[in-house]
Amino acid sequence: MNKQNERSGMRLLSSGKRGFFRIVFSRVGLISLLLILQVALIFAVMLWFYKILPHLLVVQGLFVAVMVLILINSRADASSKITWLILIMSAPLFGTLMYVYVRMDVGHRLLRDRLRGIIGETKNLLPQEPPALETLKNAHPDAAALDTYLNHSGCFPVYDNCEVKYFRCGEEKFKELLLRLEEAKDFIFLEYFIIEEGYMWGRVLEILCRKAAEGVDVRVMYDGTNEFATLPASYPHLLAEYGIKCRPFAPLTPFVSTHYNFRDHRKILVIDGKVAFTGGINLSDRYINIGSPYGHWKDTAIMLRGRAVDSFTLLFLQMWNMGPDEAEYQKYLAVPDSEPQSPFPGWVITYGDSPLDSYRVGEMVYSDILNRAERYVHIMTPYLILDGELETALRFAAQRGVDVELILPGIPDKPVPYALAKTHYAALLEAGVRIYEYTPGFVHAKVFVSDDCKAVVGSINLDYRSLYHHFECAAYMCDTPCIKDIEEDFISTRSQCREVTQESLKDIKWHTRLLGSVTKAISTML
């Protein structure tokens, strides 16, 4: 795209109001200062406790022993237990106070209860259609069993007769997205982790404003961390002037809370209940390779048509209705004429993952694919920060003869995740997993494809935050025609990669090794 196009598109913010000084002299700056003061107060209290600690050494020993027993018998995952054990053994009082503070769920207990209530209210809004489930059971009983698990975790039925279109890059998705937005007549729901003013969002915003003026119900959600870098706290009010309803998830407040640990990482766009988009692509220029500082930005997405769109509609409304408004669901679901006119083979399960329940949906779906694969599992992911269970699943699949291949970034966007990924290389290579790094730039795609019959495309990374701490979404596909396109894209992308070998591991710089080794102990907190 030329420079002229880059400057086109609607903007609500002037360039002078973005950047460092906007943050310092804004509500974000004030909130950040108050947060820093609260953290300082917490540390001051902890230091006061340390002054009396010499008089309590015996008690401390007993105290640590009790905490160790509590941790060992807790329901936390093994990786998280190790991190807490290291912290408590190294700094008993500080570590214990931190553990108690986190376990108290200060700041998000109400959020959790509210979400559980919403899920309970809406769990039966999308009943399973028996024909789709029965045909799936006959063709792929293992996939039908996975759907049983997904329905235990939420309202995620399996659907047939769904059209799925795969996009190999952000530019392809963006072009299709604009066309579909222009067709909107009833409602447009957007939920994205990142929205940033520029060409991409400007073009989308022009259409949203025009559609809102036409009477279309336009709603926008984005994660509250955007207030740190891309959008001011006043942005919902700016959008409201154009008839667009906007609601940030977990906006910044001047209170230290574990609530900030849980972010809305989903990428969902629903149009009229007939079309839905998901994948790894946010609404920012780098995702369509405008101004990317990390070389070529490789990302993927899918577009759905059919009843599977209902699950994404419900996921959006569940998050939206965590606010004070009166909840509305039924009028946006089971939209007439939502199914494609021509029949499409295969099955689709669209699903979400919440950090506020006991289900690790994203990890379980990935593990299920790895454990049931017979010939191959091909994966694209930007980050590789694995817990013990997922690393074991990858290694076990390779050890029993499955062709397990990973494509990771060649140019990293963050040094810590890059270093952490390399701590897993040796064990995976030893088990027979093949690892490739994308030399043109950064891979942001989240893709699993297996045995020419199963695939997942969504927002879920292979890292601890995605698997445990984020709200996520994805589509699980079985025997859909687009699976062939996904596998072809993997092969094409692999041809642009360098393969990691045992020999090339020796070339990893010492400071990268050191950073990865040190941060691995606390990776569950990053």
Q: What is the pLDDT of residues 42-82, one digit of tens each?
A: 778 777 766 666 666 666 677 777 777 777 777 666 667 77
The confidence score (pLDDT) of residue 316 equals 95
Q: What is the sign of the dihedral through the CA atoms of 45, 47, 50 and 52?
A: negative
Average pLDDT over residues 140-153: 92
* DSSP letter (8 states) at residue 73: T
Please report, as a single letter, which amino acid is at residue 34: L
- Residue closest to 309 by CA, chosen among 332, 288, 290: 332
Q: Lowest-confidence range among 92-101, 374-383, 440-449?
A: 92-101
The confidence score (pLDDT) of residue 464 equals 87
Average pLDDT, the chain: 87
SS (H, E, C) 231-277: CCCCHHHHHHCCCCEEEEECCCCCCCCHHHHCEECCEEEEECCCEEE
Q: Which residue has the higher pLDDT, 44 or 522?
A: 44
Contact 366, 387 (CB under 8 A): no
Average pLDDT over residues 291-307: 96
Q: Which residue has the higher pLDDT, 2 or 436?
A: 436
Map residue 491 onto helix, strand or coil.
Answer: helix
Cβ neighbours of residue 224 closer than 8 Å, sequence gap 6 or more: 248, 249, 250, 251, 252, 263
The confidence score (pLDDT) of residue 68 equals 75
Q: Lowest-confidence range among 3-12, 175-184, 492-501?
A: 3-12
Alpha-carbon distance 6 to 40, whole Å? 43
Confidence of residue 95 (pLDDT cuts 50, 70, 90): confident
- CA within 13 Å, CB half, 277: 26
Tell me the range of 89-103, 325-339, 446-460 where mean pLDDT is highest: 446-460
pLDDT tens for residues 398-435? 999 999 999 999 999 999 989 999 999 999 999 999 99
Alpha-carbon distance 432 to 419, whole Å? 21
Q: Lowest-confidence range among 10-14, 86-90, 437-441, 451-455?
A: 86-90
pLDDT > 90 fraction of the chain, expressed in percent and rounded: 59
- Residue closest to 298 by CA, chosen among 196, 445, 439, 485: 445
pLDDT score of 1 more than 50: no
Q: Which residue has the higher pLDDT, 327 or 167?
A: 167
Confidence of residue 16 (pLDDT cuts 50, 70, 90): low
Average pLDDT over residues 161-189: 97
Average pLDDT over residues 464-480: 94
Q: Which domains does the chain have, with CATH numbers?
A: 20-103 (no CATH), 109-353 (3.30.870.10), 361-525 (3.30.870.10)
CB atoms within 10 A of CB 76: 16
The confidence score (pLDDT) of residue 219 equals 97
Map residue 54 onto helix, strand or coil.
Answer: helix
Contact 319, 221 (CB under 8 A): yes
Cβ neighbours of residue 470 closer than 8 Å, sequence gap 6 or more: 262, 263, 264, 265, 353, 355
Q: Lowest-confidence range among 310-319, 331-340, 371-380?
A: 331-340
CB atoms within 10 A of CB 511: 10
Alpha-carbon distance 235 to 248, whole Å? 9
The confidence score (pLDDT) of residue 456 equals 98
Alpha-carbon distance 337 to 343, whole Å? 13
Beta bridge partners of 462: 384
Please report, as a single letter, which amino acid is at residue 281: I
For β-strands 376-380 and 454-458, DSSP reports them as: unpaired
Map residue 473 onto helix, strand or coil.
Answer: strand
pLDDT tens for residues 271-292? 999 999 999 999 999 999 999 9
Alpha-carbon distance 260 to 21, whole Å? 23
* DSSP letter (8 states) at residue 400: T
Q: Which residue has the higher pLDDT, 473 or 525?
A: 473
The confidence score (pLDDT) of residue 440 equals 97
Phi, psi angles (nearest 5°) of residue 382 = -80, -25
- CA within 13 Å, CB half, 325: 13
Beta bridge partners of 305: 163, 275
Q: Lowest-confidence range among 17-26, 40-49, 101-110, 214-223?
A: 17-26
pLDDT score of 314 more than 50: yes
Alpha-carbon distance 117 to 124, whole Å? 13
Average pLDDT over residues 479-483: 97
The confidence score (pLDDT) of residue 358 equals 79
Q: What is the pTM of this model?
A: 0.86
Alpha-carbon distance 390 to 147, whole Å? 20
Q: Lowest-confidence range among 35-44, 266-275, 457-466, 497-506?
A: 35-44
Alpha-carbon distance 298 to 167, whole Å? 11
The confidence score (pLDDT) of residue 305 equals 95
The confidence score (pLDDT) of residue 470 equals 92
Alpha-carbon distance 181 to 241, whole Å? 20
Q: At how many degrees (to 10) do helices 415-422 and 510-520 cross?
A: 90
For β-strands 217-223 and 245-249, DSSP reports them as: parallel
Token look-up 């609601």 returns 247
Contact 279, 167 (CB under 8 A): yes
The confidence score (pLDDT) of residue 297 equals 98
In the chain, count H helices and then E strands.
21, 19
Q: What is the dihedral of CA 316, 318, 323, 329, to 10 degrees?
A: 90
Token look-up 């010492």 returns 510
Cβ neighbours of residue 385 closer than 8 Å, sequence gap 6 or more: 417, 420, 421, 462, 463, 464, 465, 523, 526
Contacts made by residues 242-245, CB under 8 angstroms, sequence distance 24+: 242/208, 242/209, 242/212, 242/213, 243/209, 243/212, 243/213, 243/218, 244/208, 244/209, 244/212, 244/218, 244/219, 244/220, 245/217, 245/218, 245/219, 245/220
